[in-house]
């Protein structure tokens, strides 16, 4: 080992420096967006004000007054929270049955579930709009957005929960059965406390996917249930004439989720590996 | 084990929901793909209502197959997905190796690196194409303008200036053009998804068998051969996961294409469906069915690869 440490003396300086450089490059676009959001629209496109300018909150004030940011944000929170909760309520029992009482078909069912995620949304957009507008009358409602977010995330939720539940020794669950605990009791008193970490990671990741979803939420809403994705959609000015305004709206749309992500980093990493990487 | 009722009941809601979610819109899409159905038509108003009397058989499919845009979209879809996969895996491996050691500020480096993954796809596209890549107002335009004027200034120097007169005037690249917009899309999605690859590879690297590595060092194995013979096989499974999850997400890439290449002809399959759907629902549905077939081919391929190891 001595040779390795000797030779890597220089490496002690170079590798961390390189790691920092890469991290800064990756973070730069986000920094630039936040930075630009404090410029006026006029300053944002002037090279002489690239780095030095008088910071202003004008864009944020403007956004709060004219774009009804809070309504979009509230809708994002409501739909993401409920979609996450409901997909967990549907997903936990299913994943429990698959992990502890698998049948010959369990693997095929799991694979089929994930394959529904690959269906191109655009292929079924028209039928969905047609049905929800003309027949069901649920177009542009929270109910519809929650339902759709739930459906598109359910395969991932079940798959992730399944990989977590599989890690729990079967004996623990079976011991519960011997003691005459009901299925509901097993889930509530044994499974959920044991798999709490995995369930939390799943919930977090689902929440992020819901928050960032921009295909269905934009196309199945107009005003009442419109989320932050819709706000961005309406504000992407052509050819960047309003960089300041655009940056402020974008920052306000992504900030909550980035901050949440920072706090829950550890949990997320676990969840993202789908339990398949240890 | 005697009673299969309970596990079935527990799975039923999830399976039923997904089944309805798949079958109802899909069967409508199949129906629309077999009839003439347009949203606006002055000459043939009867085509604007979906009905069996407008039966067209496989005509929509033929129309789509004979359309050049369809083939461009297929090639583009595959090119974009494959480029993103290759780039994220290579960058992800490199960066994961880089931060898989302790150094001052490692926690902050991780936080900075993971951040792009949380950015909304629409924000990602808007941010890159306007503020970073715009050839005039974005950082790209400003940087190239600054370099050109710097070279111009150097040309005025005696003696040395002569050398700089050979230096060409740089042209900013417009990433909204048909030839270049796919690169912009690849760039922004790679930026967003490399952190995902890094996280997964890093988690996996931490579980690598250190004693095996030390033995290899004692045996005189070079760093490169240790990487190829020990680290890469250890990472086979995480690489498969990265490829699978990303394929699922990128085959249906939409927001980025819509914002970057709107109307310049450089589409992918989901976007082409959207374009058809602005009027010709029949053709859009037929394209949709082709997209479903493509997705299924990829799905079968990927799930074969991963399905077995995930069940262990």
Q: The domain spanning residue A98 has which CATH number? A: 1.10.3720.10
> Which of A23, A114, A254 comes nearest B303 by C-beta?
A114
Q: For residue B279, is it within any domain?
A: yes
CA B46 to chain centre: 40
Count of structural domains, chain B: 1
Give yes or no: residues A189 and A117 share one domain. yes
Give yes or no: residues A72 and A26 share one domain. no
List CB contacts of A236: < 8 A, sequence separation 6 or more: A246, B122, B126, B130, B259
Q: What is the mean pLDDT of chain A?
A: 84
The Cα of B45 is separated from the nearest Cα of chain A by a number of Å equal to 18
> How far is CA B61 from each of CA A11, A119, B36, B116, B284, rounded to the nearest angstrom?
59, 18, 11, 39, 10
Task: For residue range A162-186, list pLDDT tens digits in order.
Answer: 888 888 888 888 787 777 778 888 8
> Which of B98, B238, B277 comes nearest A18 by C-beta?
B98
Under the banding of pLDDT at 50, 70 and 90, the label for residue B266 is: confident
Task: For residue range B210-220, list pLDDT tens digits in order.
Answer: 788 788 888 88
B223 HSE (CA, 13 A, CB side): 5
The answer to whether A221 and A227 have CB atoms below 8 angstroms apart is yes
A 47-76 residues with CB < 8 A to B = 47, 50
ipTM: 0.87
Give yes or no: residues A32 and A79 share one domain. no
CB-based contact A212 B118, cutoff 8 Å: yes
Q: Which residues of B touch A115 (CB under 8 A)?
A: 295-296, 299, 303
Q: Which residues of B touch A276 (CB under 8 A)?
A: 237-238, 241, 309-310
pLDDT of residue B212: 80
Burial of A193 (0-12, 13-18, 19+ CB in 10 A): exposed
Bigger pLDDT: B175 vs A2:
B175
User: pLDDT under 50 in chain A at which residues?
Assistant: 1-6, 239-240
| Closest Cα in chain A to B270 | A122
The Cα of A205 is separated from the nearest Cα of chain B by a number of Å equal to 10
Give yes or no: residues A146 and A16 share one domain. no
DSSP symbol at B54: G
Q: For residue A21, is it within any domain?
A: yes
> Which of A116, A262, A277 comes nearest B18 by C-beta?
A116
Q: What is the mean pLDDT of chain B?
A: 85
pLDDT of residue A238: 56
CATH of the domain at B158: 1.10.3720.10
Count of structural domains, chain A: 2
The Cα of A114 is separated from the nearest Cα of chain B by a number of Å equal to 9
- Find the domain containing B225 and state its range: 70-311
> How far is CA A141 from each of CA A41, A136, A146, B106, B252, rounded to the nearest angstrom?
34, 11, 9, 44, 24
pLDDT of residue A77: 95
Q: For residue A236, is it within any domain?
A: yes
Give yes or no: residues A163 and A75 share one domain. yes
* E strands in chain B: none
> Which of B120, B248, B274 comes nearest A232 by C-beta?
B120
Give yes or no: residues A182 and A92 share one domain. yes
Give yes or no: residues A188 and A123 share one domain. yes
Q: For residue B136, is it within any domain?
A: yes
Q: For residue A62, is it within any domain?
A: no
The answer to whether B115 and A258 have CB atoms below 8 angstroms apart is yes
Give yes or no: residues A76 and A27 share one domain. no
Measured from the Cβ of residue A167, the count of other Cβ atoms closer than 10 Å reads: 12
Bigger pLDDT: B87 vs A231:
B87
Q: For residue B32, is it within any domain?
A: no
Task: Compute the average pLDDT of residues B141-156.
Answer: 83
Q: For residue B23, is it within any domain?
A: no
> Which of A4, A113, A120 comes nearest B291 by C-beta?
A120
Dist. CA B172–CA B275, nearest whole Å: 29
| Closest Cα in chain A to B4 | A101
Q: For residue A46, is it within any domain?
A: no
Q: Which residues of B touch A229 (CB under 8 A)?
A: 120, 122
The answer to whether B255 and B119 have CB atoms below 8 angstroms apart is no
Q: For residue B65, is it within any domain?
A: no
- Find the domain containing A22 and state its range: 2-36
The Cα of A14 is separated from the nearest Cα of chain B by a number of Å equal to 10
| Closest Cα in chain B to A36 | B131
Write out the two tokens for B227: 């990487």
pLDDT of residue B83: 96
- Report if pTM > 0.90: no
Q: For residue A43, is it within any domain?
A: no
CB-based contact A97 B11, cutoff 8 Å: yes
Give yes or no: residues A101 and A29 share one domain. no
> Which of A107, A131, A250 comes nearest B127 by C-beta?
A250
Give yes or no: residues A133 and A214 share one domain. yes
Q: Which residues of B touch A163 (CB under 8 A)?
A: 310
pLDDT of residue B2: 47
The verdict on A183 touching B (C-beta cutoff 8 Å) is yes
| Gyration radius from chain B CA atoms | 26
Q: Which residue of B28, B131, B239, B283 is the best one to mutate when testing the A interface, meaning the one whose CB has the most A CBs within 10 A?
A: B131
CB-based contact B137 A240, cutoff 8 Å: yes
Dist. CA A251–CA A240, nearest whole Å: 16
pLDDT of residue A7: 53
């Amino acid at each position: 080992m001595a040779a390795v440490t000797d030779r890597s003396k220089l490496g002690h300086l170079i590798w961390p420096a390189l790691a920092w450089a890469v991290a800064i490059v990756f973070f730069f676009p986000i920094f630039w967006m936040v930075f630009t959001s404090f410029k006026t629209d006029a300053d944002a496109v002037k090279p002489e004000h690239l780095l030095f300018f008088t910071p202003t909150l004008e864009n944020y004030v403007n956004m709060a007054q004219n774009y009804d940011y809070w309504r979009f944000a509230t809708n994002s929170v409501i739909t993401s929270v409920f979609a996450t909760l409901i997909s967990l309520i549907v997903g936990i029992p299913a994943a429990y049955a698959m992990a502890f009482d698998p049948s010959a078909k369990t693997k095929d069912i799991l694979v089929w579930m994930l394959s529904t995620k690959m269906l191109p949304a655009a292929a079924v957009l028209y039928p969905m709009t047609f049905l929800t507008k003309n027949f069901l009358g649920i177009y542009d409602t929270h109910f519809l957005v929650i339902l759709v977010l739930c459906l598109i995330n359910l395969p991932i939720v079940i798959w992730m929960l399944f990989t977590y539940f599989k890690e729990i020794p079967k004996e623990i669950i079976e011991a519960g059965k011997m003691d005459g605990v009901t299925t509901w009791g097993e889930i509530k008193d044994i499974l959920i406390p044991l798999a709490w970490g995995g369930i939390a990671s799943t919930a977090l990741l689902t929440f992020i996917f819901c928050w960032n979803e921009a295909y269905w939420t934009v196309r199945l809403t107009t005003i009442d249930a419109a989320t932050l994705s819709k706000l961005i959609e309406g504000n992407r000015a052509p050819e960047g004439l309003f960089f300041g305004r655009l940056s402020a709206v974008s920052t306000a749309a992504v900030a909550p989720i980035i901050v949440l992500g920072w706090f829950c980093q550890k949990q997320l990493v676990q969840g993202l590996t789908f339990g398949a990487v240890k | 084990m005697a009673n299969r009722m309970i596990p079935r009941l527990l799975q039923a809601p999830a399976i039923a929901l997904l089944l309805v979610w798949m079958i109802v819109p899909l069967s409508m899409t199949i129906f629309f793909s077999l009839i003439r159905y347009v949203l606006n038509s002055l000459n043939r108003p009867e085509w604007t209502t979906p009905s069996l009397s407008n039966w067209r058989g496989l005509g929509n499919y033929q129309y789509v197959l004979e359309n050049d845009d369809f083939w461009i979209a297929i090639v583009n879809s595959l090119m974009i997905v494959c480029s993103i996969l290759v780039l994220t895996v290579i960058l992800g491996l490199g960066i994961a190796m880089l931060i898989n050691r302790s150094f001052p500020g490692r926690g902050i480096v991780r936080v900075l690196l993971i951040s792009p993954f949380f950015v909304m796809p629409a924000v990602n596209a808007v941010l890159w194409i306007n503020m970073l890549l715009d050839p005039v107002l974005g950082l790209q335009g400003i940087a190239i303008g600054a370099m050109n004027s710097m070279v111009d200034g150097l040309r005025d120097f005696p003696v040395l200036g002569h050398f700089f007169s050979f230096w060409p005037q740089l042209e900013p690249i417009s990433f909204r053009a048909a030839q270049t917009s796919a690169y912009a899309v690849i760039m922004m999605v790679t930026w967003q998804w490399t952190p995902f690859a890094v996280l997964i590879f890093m988690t996996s690297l931490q579980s690598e068998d250190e004693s095996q590595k030390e033995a290899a060092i004692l045996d005189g194995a070079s760093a490169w051969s240790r990487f190829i013979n020990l680290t890469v096989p250890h990472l086979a499974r995480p690489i498969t996961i990265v490829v699978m999850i990303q394929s699922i997400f990128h085959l249906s890439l939409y927001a980025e294409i819509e914002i970057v290449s709107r109307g310049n002809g450089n589409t992918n399959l989901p976007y082409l469906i959207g374009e058809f759907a602005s009027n010709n629902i029949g053709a859009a549905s037929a394209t949709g069915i082709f997209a479903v077939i493509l997705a299924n081919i990829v799905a079968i391929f990927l799930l074969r690869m991963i399905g077995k190891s995930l069940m262990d």
